[in-house]
Amino acid sequence: MKKEEAYINDLVEFLSIPSISTDASYKNDVRRGAEWLAEDLKNSGLENVEILETGGHPVVYGDWLHKPDKPVFLVYGHYDVQPAEPLDLWESSPFEPEIRDDKVYARGATDDKGQLMIHVKAVASLMEKHGELPVNVKFCFEGEEEIASPNLVPFVKQHKEKLSCDAVLVSDTPLMDKETPAIVTGLRGALAFEMTLTTASVDLHSGAYGGAVPNAVHHLVRVLDSFHDENAKVAVEGFYEGVPEATEELRSEMGRIPFSAETMKQEGGLSDLYGEEGFTPPEQTGIRPTLEINGVTGGYQGAGMKTIVPKEASAKISCRLVGDQNPGKVFERIERHVENHLPRGGAVRLDKTIEARAVTMDADNEFIQKAARAYDDFYGNRTLFPKEGGSIPIIEVFKNELGAQPVLMGFGLQSENMHAPNEHFHLENFRRGIRTVEKYLESF
Amino acid sequence: MKKEEAYINDLVEFLSIPSISTDASYKNDVRRGAEWLAEDLKNSGLENVEILETGGHPVVYGDWLHKPDKPVFLVYGHYDVQPAEPLDLWESSPFEPEIRDDKVYARGATDDKGQLMIHVKAVASLMEKHGELPVNVKFCFEGEEEIASPNLVPFVKQHKEKLSCDAVLVSDTPLMDKETPAIVTGLRGALAFEMTLTTASVDLHSGAYGGAVPNAVHHLVRVLDSFHDENAKVAVEGFYEGVPEATEELRSEMGRIPFSAETMKQEGGLSDLYGEEGFTPPEQTGIRPTLEINGVTGGYQGAGMKTIVPKEASAKISCRLVGDQNPGKVFERIERHVENHLPRGGAVRLDKTIEARAVTMDADNEFIQKAARAYDDFYGNRTLFPKEGGSIPIIEVFKNELGAQPVLMGFGLQSENMHAPNEHFHLENFRRGIRTVEKYLESF
């Protein structure tokens, strides 16, 4: 089909822009991404398209509001992407998209450029067919999701009227599997921070000083190891405050979500799973909070050996939060824990970078139910309503500030390497996604 | 004094060559260091000067053997240096030597280029004054000490006759303090290895997978933390096998070595000391073995955050060994310990890089006693005979293979930042060192 090929060409063009939000050296590329997207919204028939400034990377906005009796949908997505490192593990260059076996390989393919383009192209397709849309739509695409949307909360509060809507439509989550659609009804909150541990003003010779002076890596390792007990439970006192009890009802609900340990192992190349004792993997990633070390660095890391006692070491850490866990309180508990577990001779600094509460949605809501039915023509199985392990911090803000119903329609797949080398997106789901969204909007 | 100024100029030239042995990209610079040194030996009056190939960086040799009735001294030193990182902490460029306040600042200034040049220049000075030397000398300078002399052992065994001697003269250790000479009579052995821990074939999204899959950094941190107990004792079973008992006699000998915790803290910018409970800092660095993490790396380390579950993490580790500790056996014990402490879902690889036994020398030996007396004219205090925390693996080989008496005359200072930024060497000790060595050789 000619039209779909053109849509795919547009996606490939979009994916070739390295809009990496976390790294300041890509600032111009992020803006280039916004400009490209604004142009594409115009070409799709959207009106009032503009690039709105924030304290950081800009927001791309556009709307079509000519059906006063119909609901207003706000489509949210993010055009920024994760860093592409480690580059040597990519089979093709992360910003030179390659289509292999009906999948497009590029950083951002599934997270989130490929998925947000489904909505842009569904609107383009409807406009082409009918010259109008069946409902009202507003598009709001940010460039800072991968750095936890530091400017989107004030932006949403400032533009409440402009963004006002009945439902927020988001595609930044996965399908359950290739033939099973999924609408996420729970998202974990997030807390992220960097921890820097210092023991000396200079690296010391391990022969002359080793054994008598504190080693920053030893001290860091001691603190980091103290975060989890033998059963992979977080050992920070008070960490689990606000975590909902795993009732029989909740657990049987979690049990209905199809899950295969073998598939999970294959996806990650794992020899074994590993998680909090007493909970199943879907529970561990869906209804339980985590504390994860995302990176660690300290001392000599070059070629060969350097026999030093390192003066400094640091770690990047992020928590996924559930239920009523308060990110600010959790951070305070962690600060206290670190103080209590820091061996003598060490000084520690914690810098908070991300903070967001968890959010849950009611699967019986009309906007969610209609979305579930829209999938039916294009996917073999019925839609499921899982709790997701990831965090989309802004969803809670849309829900509470705009009073809108979030609808998280996934079109990605868990196996598509998001945040990892060789990220890709199944074009089959790109095509089916466009048709699903068209049908969904037509159902109102 | 004109002559001494010329010697200092030569040293500055020598220090400007970045002969970093551990990093293959400096291979030509290491050779340039060897060539420069060979030329300087010739200019100093040495004969049979040659650059001898090994499996790695070359050895520089030269001799003067015209006193058949006198002892033969083999002067050993190393012209290779440690890497200069972190470069931003240097006040002047590491390979553009700068003299400030009668100290020369450069990588290798005290370890070991400045100290080995004392011997070259002492010979040059004697030759200039007398046209001959009072004893026989052989010079053997290697280019691989900082990477644990992997080729020097076979080299020494292969050139036993060429290197045969009565005493091995080495200056690669510190003075006790500015006015107190020191001849080291004990050196710790060494064992170094790299540990790589893998949990997955790809970094995983911490939202989707976090909590249910093994995290390579968590697993590494657990293993690393298990190496030491609460009292900073190495917790590897059997690690202390072969460590001499800390008898009252040994401890009172250690107690005679002047030590100031305040000075040690100042040297390293430490808020506190930290070491194995029940031992003093001189004991911890002198007669006790250590296990030190020199560097750790894993997961995302760039700017900002990347919410991944890292697939791989690694650490560089080195042990200092004492007494009869067998490096091979210690390594086996560590391998077993790692296996026993590795959480499920992790795979680990250990690569041994350095292996050397500890060595001790008898302070009553004539070669050592005469060296102690040679210092007397130039330093305020009497010579001490400490056990050193560092390792010079080749000393044991010289002692056992050549049957030679090692004499470790120090001219550096502990505070001269060896292996750290702003390494320097007190030119006062360069000048006094040359006179001390002249007097020493003349005393035979």
Mapped onto helix, strand or coil, the DSSP state of residue A147 is: helix
Taking Cα atoms as reference points, which of A110, A346, A115 lies closest to residue A214? Answer: A346
Q: What whole-number distance in Å separates Cα of residue A181 and Cα of residue A385?
A: 9
| Cβ within 8 Å, pair A294-B307 | yes
Q: Please, is A129 exposed, middle or buried when counting C-beta atoms within 10 Å of its C-beta (0-12, 13-18, 19+)?
A: exposed
Question: Residue B280: which residues within 8 A CB-CB, separation 6 or more?
Answer: B254, B255, B259
Give yes or no: residues B313 and B205 share one domain.
yes
Considering only CB atoms, B420 lies closest to which of A204, A273, A353, namely A204
Residue A87 domain-assigned?
Answer: yes
Residue range A12-68, pLDDT digits in tens: 999 999 999 999 999 999 999 999 999 999 999 999 999 999 999 999 999 999 999
Least confident of A94-103, A228-237, A323-332, A378-387: A378-387
Residue range A231-249, pLDDT digits in tens: 999 999 999 999 999 999 9
Q: What average pLDDT does chain A have?
A: 94
Say if residues A309 and A204 touch (Cβ distance below 8 Å).
yes
- Residue A117 dihedral angles phi and psi, to the nearest 5°: -65, -25
By C-alpha distance, the chain A residue nearest B304 is A22
Q: What is the pLDDT along chain B (444 residues), one digit of tens a residue?
A: 689 999 999 999 999 999 999 999 999 999 999 999 999 999 999 999 999 999 999 999 999 999 999 999 999 999 999 999 889 999 999 999 999 999 999 999 999 999 999 999 999 999 999 999 999 999 999 999 988 788 998 999 999 999 999 999 999 989 999 999 999 998 888 999 999 999 999 999 888 899 999 999 999 999 999 999 999 999 999 999 999 999 998 899 888 888 999 999 998 999 999 999 999 999 998 889 999 999 999 999 887 778 899 999 999 999 999 999 999 999 999 999 999 999 999 999 999 988 888 998 999 999 999 999 999 989 999 999 987 777 787 898 899 899 999 999 999 998 899 888 999 999 999 999 999 999 999 999
Say if residues B207 and A187 touch (Cβ distance below 8 Å).
no
Residue A251 domain-assigned?
Answer: no
Question: Looking at the predicted structure, is the pLDDT value of residue A298 above 80?
Answer: yes
The HSE-up count of residue B444 (CA atoms within 13 Å, CB side) is: 23
By C-alpha distance, the chain A residue nearest B289 is A211
Question: Looking at the predicted structure, is the pLDDT value of residue A146 above 70?
Answer: yes
Q: Which residues of B touch A216 (CB under 8 A)?
A: none
Please report, rounded to a whole number, the percentage of residues in chain A having pLDDT higher than 90: 83
Residue B125 domain-assigned?
Answer: yes
- Minimal Cα–Cα distance from A155 to chain B, Å? 21
| Cβ within 8 Å, pair B293-A203 | no
| Cβ within 8 Å, pair A390-B208 | yes
Q: How confident is the model at residue A284 (pLDDT cuts 50, 70, 90)?
A: very high
Residue B229 domain-assigned?
Answer: yes
In our burial notation (b when 16+ CB lie closer than 10 A, e otherwise), range A81-109 reads bbbbbeeeebeeebbebeeeeebbbbbbb
Mapped onto helix, strand or coil, the DSSP state of residue B59 is: strand
pLDDT of residue A158: 94
- Minimal Cα–Cα distance from B421 to chain A, Å? 8
Residue range A386-399, pLDDT digits in tens: 877 777 878 988 99
Give yes or no: residues B16 and B70 share one domain.
yes
By C-alpha distance, the chain A residue nearest B85 is A300
Q: Which residues of B touch A310 (CB under 8 A)?
A: 293-295
Please report, rounded to a whole number, the percentage of residues in chain A having pLDDT higher than 70: 100
Boundary-marking domain end, from A310, A334, A356: A356
Give yes or no: residues B182 and B218 share one domain.
no
Q: What whole-number distance in Å separates Cα of residue B105 and Cα of residue B127?
A: 29
Residue A255 domain-assigned?
Answer: no
| Cβ within 8 Å, pair A315-B85 | no
Beta bridge partners of A59: A52
* Contacts across the A-B interface (CB distance below 8 Å): 359
Mean pLDDT confidence for A126-150: 94
* Domain span including residue B406: 2-187+359-442
Tokens found for residue B41: 């030996």
Give yes or no: residues B58 and B204 share one domain.
no
Say if residues B327 and B356 touch (Cβ distance below 8 Å).
yes
Q: Please, is B250 exposed, middle or buried when counting C-beta atoms within 10 Å of its C-beta (0-12, 13-18, 19+)?
A: middle
Give yes or no: residues B62 and B163 share one domain.
yes
Least confident of A182-196, A361-375, A376-390: A376-390
pLDDT of residue A363: 92
Question: Looking at the predicted structure, is the pLDDT value of residue A208 above 90?
Answer: no
pLDDT of residue B387: 78
In our burial notation (b when 16+ CB lie closer than 10 A, e otherwise), range A176-201 reads bbeebbbbbbbbbbbbbbbbbbbbbe
Q: What whole-number distance in Å separates Cα of residue B321 and Cα of residue B357?
A: 7
- Minimal Cα–Cα distance from B297 to chain A, Å? 5
Boundary-marking domain end, from A308, A332, A356: A356
pLDDT of residue B1: 60
Q: What whole-number distance in Å separates Cα of residue A202 and Cα of residue B419?
A: 10
How does strand B290-299 pair with strand B312-321?
Answer: antiparallel
pLDDT of residue A1: 60
Residue A220: give its domain's CATH number: 3.30.70.360
Residue B278 domain-assigned?
Answer: no
- Minimal Cα–Cα distance from B272 to chain A, Å? 5
Considering only CB atoms, A218 lies closest to which of B83, B228, B267, namely B228
ipTM of the complex: 0.76
pLDDT of residue A306: 80
When scoring B145, B293, B320 by the number of chain A Cβ atoms within 10 A, the one with the most, hence best to mutate, is B293
Segment holding A98, helix H or strand E:
strand A98-100
DSSP E strand stretches across A237-369: 290-299, 308-309, 312-321, 347-356, 359-360
Give yes or no: residues B163 and B32 share one domain.
yes
Boundary-marking domain end, from B356, B375, B396: B356
Considering only CB atoms, A206 lies closest to which of B228, B294, B343, namely B294
Give yes or no: residues A82 and A197 share one domain.
no
- Minimal Cα–Cα distance from B277 to chain A, Å? 10
Whether a cis peptide bond, with omega within 30° of 0, leads into A112 is: yes
Give yes or no: residues A127 and A175 share one domain.
yes
Q: What whole-number distance in Å separates Cα of residue B303 and Cα of residue A204?
A: 27
Say if residues A424 and A408 touch (Cβ distance below 8 Å).
no
By C-alpha distance, the chain B residue nearest A194 is B305
Give yes or no: residues A194 and A314 share one domain.
yes
DSSP alpha helix (H) spans, B238-326? 248-255, 261-268, 281-286
Give yes or no: residues B32 and B162 share one domain.
yes
The structural domain count of chain B equals 2
Give yes or no: residues B212 and B239 share one domain.
yes
**DSSP character at residue B268:** H
Residue A75: give its domain's CATH number: 3.40.630.10
Q: What whole-number distance in Å separates Cα of residue A105 and Cα of residue A83?
A: 15
pLDDT of residue B202: 92
Residue A271 domain-assigned?
Answer: no
pLDDT of residue A361: 92
Give yes or no: residues B225 and B101 share one domain.
no
Beta bridge partners of A34: none
Please, what is the angle between helix A2-15 and helix A114-130, to 10°?
140
Q: What separation in angstroms does the CA of B64 have from each of B71, B124, B375?
A: 12, 11, 24
Residue B236 domain-assigned?
Answer: yes
Question: Residue B77: which residues within 8 A CB-CB, separation 6 or more?
Answer: B112, B115, B116, B119, B141, B142, B170, B171, B172
Q: Which residues of A touch B300 (CB under 8 A)?
A: 83, 85, 294-295, 316
